[in-house]
Structure 1
Amino acid sequence: MARMRRSSEQTLEYKIEQAEAKVAKTKEAHEKAVDELKKLYDIRMAYQRDELLKAMKNSSRSYGEILTFITSGETSEDE
């Protein structure tokens, strides 16, 4: 069987189609990975929130003292 040669233009169009298909496939994979990452960030945030609330509950400090400390931007402990 004789094989037909593609012209340069046909070859270029074929390569463009292949590249477009690859981009579409990788875009889907990227979006899936981004969604998974967002879910993991949300889980981490919920864990940190729970941990913070537990620490506040067990603290001898008042709500006002804790809020003042958090909003003051102080990082040193002079006590």
Structure 2
Amino acid sequence: MARGRKPGTTMSGTIEQQIGKAQEKVIKTKALYNAAVGALQKLLDKRDAQRKDELWNSIIKSNKSYGEILRFISSDVEDEE
């Protein structure tokens, strides 16, 4: 036996409800996405800060001069081109 629609519901009414639910889902999903992006950005910033500290500490401990370090870095860039 086939079931019919509930009395008082129309096709456009159910579509509007589905659209409303889909919009709510998009809003919630976007909020979760934005939170995840924020958390990722904080972690990337922490990693970059650690890398900078590590690099500076290595430079300070090095017996190379500022000019020698710059030439070394620049030669690597020129070699890649």
Provide the TM-score with structure 2 as the length reference: 0.82
Amino acid at match of 1:56: I
Q: How does 1:1-79 map to 2 (within 5 A)?
A: 4-73=7-76
Q: CA RMSD in A?
A: 1.6
For 1:11 and 1:67, the matched residues in 2 are separated by 67
Amino acid at match of 1:31: N
Q: Which runs of 5+ in 2 are unaligned?
A: 1-5
Q: Which has the higher contact order (CA 8 A, sep 6+)?
A: 1
Runs of 4 or more consecutive aligned structure 1 residues displaced over 6 Å after TM superposition: none
Q: Number of residue pairs matched?
A: 73
String of CA shifts for 1:47-76, please: whole Å, max 9, x gaps: 0000000100111111111111112226xx
Provide the TM-score with structure 1 as the length reference: 0.84
Shift of 1:4: 3.2
